[in-house]
Amino acid sequence: MNKKLIALAVAAALAPAAALADNGNVTIYGQANASIDRVDPGTAPSAAAVPFNAITGAAAQPANRNFNDTAMRISSNASRLGFKGTEDLGNGLSAVWQMESDVNLDKGATASTFMMRNTYVGLSSKAAGTFILGKHDTPYKLGTGSLDLFADTMGDYNAIVGNFNGTLAFDSRLGNVAAYISPALSGFTFIGAVVAANETNNTANKDGSAYSLTGMYGNGPLFASLSYEHAKDITGSSTEVTSADAGGVLGALDKASAIKLGLGYKFGAATVGFIAERITLDPILGGIYDANGDGSSFRRNAYVLNGSYTMGSNVLKAAYGKAGALSCTGCGNIDGKQFTVGVDHNLSKRSTVYALYSKMSNGDGASYGLGGNGAGGAFRPAAAGQDPSVWSLGMKHSF
Give the whole-angstrom CA distance, residue 116 versus residue 172.
Answer: 12
Query: Structural domain boundaries of the chain?
Result: 2-398
pLDDT for residue 6: 62
DSSP state of 370: B
Q: How far is CA 296 from CA 47, 91, 253, 273, 282, in A?
A: 29, 53, 11, 34, 7
Tell me the backbone φ, ψ of residue 33, rounded to 5 degrees. Answer: -140, 110
Query: 2-398 architecture in CATH?
Result: Beta Barrel (2.40)
| H or E element, residue 82 | strand 80-90
Phi, psi of 15 (to 5 degrees): -85, -15
Query: Strand, coil or helix: what is 231?
Result: strand
The Cα-based distances of 7 to 14, 143, 190, 218, 372 in angstroms read 11, 11, 12, 10, 22
- Of 289, 386, 280, the closest CA to residue 55 belongs to 289
Residues β-bridged to residue 133:
121, 178
Buried/exposed code over 249-273 (b: 16+ C-beta within 10 A; e: otherwise): eebbbbbbbbbbbbbbbbeeeebeb
User: How would you class 329 by CB atoms within 10 Å of its CB: exposed for 0-12, middle for 13-18, buried for 19 or more?
Assistant: exposed
Q: pLDDT tens digits for 180-212?
A: 999 999 999 999 999 886 554 444 444 567 899
315, β-bridge pairs: 310, 344
pLDDT score for 250? 28
Helix (H, G, I), strand (E, B) or coil at 96: strand
Closest CA to 347 of 391, 395, 386, 311: 395
The series of mean pLDDT values per 10 residues for the chain, 399 residues long, is: 59 48 75 95 62 41 54 90 94 95 78 76 95 95 96 94 79 90 95 78 55 95 96 52 32 78 97 96 66 73 98 98 81 87 98 98 90 78 89 97
Contact 262, 273 (CB under 8 A): yes
Which class for 325: exposed (0-12), middle (13-18), buried (19 or more C-beta within 10 A)? middle
The end-to-end CA distance of the chain, in Å, is 23
- Asked if residue 390 lies in contact with residue 64, where contact means CB atoms within 8 angstroms, the answer is no
pTM recorded for the entire structure: 0.84
Predicted local confidence at residue 107, as pLDDT = 75
pLDDT at 316: 99
State the pLDDT at residue 238.
Answer: 37
* C-beta of residue 370 within 8 angstroms of C-beta of residue 33: no
* pLDDT for 56: 37
Interatomic CA distance for residues 276 and 343, integer angstroms: 24
Q: Is the dihedral of CA 149, 124, 227, 193 positive or negative?
A: negative
Say how far apart CA 316 and CA 308 lie, in whole Å: 5
Q: What are phi and psi of 14, to 5 degrees?
A: -115, -10
